[in-house]
A and B are shown apart, each in its own frame.
Chain A
Amino acid sequence: MQASSAFDEMGIGDAAPRDAYARIKRWLDEAPPEYLQTRRAQAELFFRRIGITFAVYGDAQADERLIPFDIIPRVISRAEWTRLEKGLVQRVAALNAFLADVYGRREILRAGLLPEELVLRNPQFCLPVIGHQPPHGVYTHIAGIDIVRTGPDDFYVLEDNARTPSGVSYMLENREVMLRLLPELFDRHRVAPVDDYPETLLATLRSVAPPNCPGEPTIVVLTPGFHNSAYYEHSFLADKLGVELVEGSDLFVRGDVLFMRTTEGPKRVDVVYRRVDDAFIDPLVFNPASVLGVPGLMSAYAAGNLAIANAPGTGIADDKAIYSYMPEIVRFYTGEEPILANVPTWRCREPDSLGHVLANLKELVVKEVDGSGGYGMLVGPHASRAQIDEFAAKLKATPDKFIAQPTLALSTCPTLVDEGVAPRHVDLRPFVLTGARGSRIVPGGLTRVALQAGSLVVNSSQGGGTKDTWVLDD
């Protein structure tokens, strides 16, 4: 799909820019090119310096770990955001209801809306939590919903990240850098702030403390440790929340209660914001070789003495085959039409769909149902004959493992590259926080941008960068 045929969020050429971008356009037209390039260089320096403090990794690879930052903000109007927000709240409500249902009464299966084996035999279906209600019924407290846009009113959900979505530290740091580098832009715009995210996250985590929690809940962030690539974000969040950043070895379970080892003896823990995958959180229940988790954590959870965010078992909701049923899932639990559309998806497990997919591989994107991070996928329009043949063979052998989608023309935003300002494809990951009293979304999110001309791949591992995301109040 070519950039030229994609929707540009500012508007390309001499035509009047879209309203939300009017002042950005004027700023870009008036600013001397060298001014923009200087600011760009300063931003990079700035990130390199923070990058060093991030560098936690610090070794020779530290430089490569910096994700490029683009200084031209991505703008969303308040009207657009209001709609997105409603859609996101609706979708996350449906995800939570779905999770409570499949681990509870399974009404959606009894209603025959999706095949039983797709849920019950799914590797992400978590047997140890069947029948257990998490405190306040919330499963996915922090959800990162990936949104793409193809036209003025056309937003699609590309993926639901319901397990341990990352990237929120970039949303916050990007804004900090922009405030320091380009204060004049903030004079000309009313930009909704994002810096209350940690406050909102803390309120969310406190609200889901188990009902029998004595007094003020004690919250911790559980990290796999500083070798983990997202360690910076873990320590950043613990710092902003003002809670302890713990590793598995700092915690132990006695009498079905979780404690952390402190200098003043054991201290009871009520809420764990874990950034460790299900498979590793409790060696007694999941992967027995894991040293990242806490033996007995799941028994404390089952006894109702602990809230885990996100709850174990949420992986079933971000399976890509389940994703294809999201419109039905939203209708089933909310009784409403979905506000945000799904990308049309062919489930290769269905023979008719498989036939269609095999006949049209050159135009489609094929993904593994439980894959993430852009691994193990085929992008038809960019694939060679041999790659397509190879994928066709895989599809025929294990059709259950795949879904296919049309190649979407992601919207573009003005982006500063070596040659000047040029349109580049973007996506958006807003973070939806859900506690005992409903969902809240800090206005904005992480915008990822494919810096290569024409590229649709926004992943940081493949030359993707990030932008500050502005929701404009006007």
Chain B
Amino acid sequence: MLSRTAGNLFWLGRYIERADFVSRLTDATLRLAALPSSYGGDVGAWSGALTAAGVNVAYAERYPLLEEATALQFLSLDPDNPSSMRWCLEKARNNARAVRTALTIETWEAINGAWLDLQRFGTRLDSRPTLNRLLEAVKAAALAFDGATHRSMLRDDGYWFMRLGAAIERADNTARLLDVKYHLLLPRDEPVGGSLDYFQWTTILRTVSALTAYRHVYRDGVKPWLVADLLILNRSMPRSLAACASDIVRYLDRLAEASGRRGAAHRLAVTAANRLAGARIESIFAAGLHEFITDFTAENNRLGSTITEQYLF
């Protein structure tokens, strides 16, 4: 397949995933920030959200003060913020449009429909109901996109490049979220229950749409070390680092089957997946959660650029 096409599909997958993540992050942060301050509700919640989205520096350059209204505007419809939902869908569509023939009609209509929908929101966020509709629209777009690709696309290179982009982006998002909140997840000698941090933990779970999943998996109250376990090591949790890492290996396997060749990206991905598969959450805590996450993020980034080099995007 054309390298340009592969690159466009890879980034299409990434941008759709990022748009979905930012909408969930915004949604969860809204809930947290709206709580009474005695429960952790605070404008500071937005600082964490901006950092998790990777745009805290860009935000500070634009706005002197941390305020909910400006943070929301920045994350939702800002035409120049590379992590705003608007930007992500715009980029997703540009990538899709450039490789129109590599997509099925259903997939194209899902993306183009979402983009046309987005045009109605303009570039200024005018009210909370508008924001709610936007968040719903972005989530629906990601679901429609995933559904359309799953149901209608050939399982060939193009499909795997798209999935690969989504998996790399997803791993990056979960790792960023963990990095912002890691201090909340460290085990402490604290009486079980009644912690004010409960709402911080549920915010993390909500962002990766795993609050209900948590209860199914652990059948226990929300405990920070279990939240970390779920998001890092649980392979049945689709946004966990371990699940992303094994997905990445699987997609690279499929691509290698087609070409009959493996490369540097493959070796990096297998190493990362094996490390997660053999790890226990206690030993991660013992060696330092923050260092673990920082290493993971760096390796994931290296993997992303190695894929780009290997397939000549």
Contact = CB atoms under 8 A, between A and B. Distances in A.
A317 interface: no
Contacts of B109: 52-53
Contact of B101 (A225, A245, A263, A264): A245
A249 B255 CA distance: 24
B286 interface: no
Interface in B1-32: 1-6
Interface in A110-161: none
Interface string A193-219: 000000000000000000000000000
A58 B101 contact: no
In the complex, which range does the number of interface residues on chain B fall in?
Answer: 20 to 34
B259 A264 contact: yes
A262 B1 contact: yes
A429 to B, nearest CB: 24
B134 to A, nearest CB: 19
A249 B259 contact: no
Contacts of B121: none
B116 interface: yes
Given A58-B112, A263-B259, A250 B4 contact: yes
A53 B3 contact: no
A392 interface: no
Contact of A261 (B3, B98, B157): B3
A56 interface: yes
B105 A53 contact: yes
Interface in A225-281: 225-226, 235, 238-239, 244-247, 249-250, 260-265
Nearest to B161: A263
A245 B255 CA distance: 21
A58 to B, nearest CB: 7
B112 A53 contact: yes
B56 to A, nearest CB: 32
B312 interface: yes
Contacts of B198: none
A56 B97 contact: yes
Contacts of B3: 250, 261-263
A55 interface: yes
Given A56-B100, A247-B4, A263 B112 contact: no
A238 B109 CA distance: 19
A52 B105 CA distance: 11
Interface of A: 52-53, 55-56, 58, 225-226, 235, 238-239, 244-247, 249-250, 260-265
Q: Which 8 pairs, one residue from A and one from B, show the smallest C-beta to C-beta distance?
A: A263-B311, A239-B101, A261-B3, A235-B100, A263-B6, A264-B259, A235-B101, A238-B101
Interface of B: 1-6, 93, 97-98, 100-101, 105, 108-109, 112-113, 115-116, 157, 161, 255, 259, 261, 311-312
Given A52-B109, A244-B2, 18 more contacts: A53-B109, A53-B112, A55-B112, A225-B98, A226-B98, A239-B100, A244-B1, A245-B100, A245-B101, A249-B4, A262-B1, A262-B3, A263-B1, A263-B2, A263-B3, A263-B255, A263-B259, A263-B311
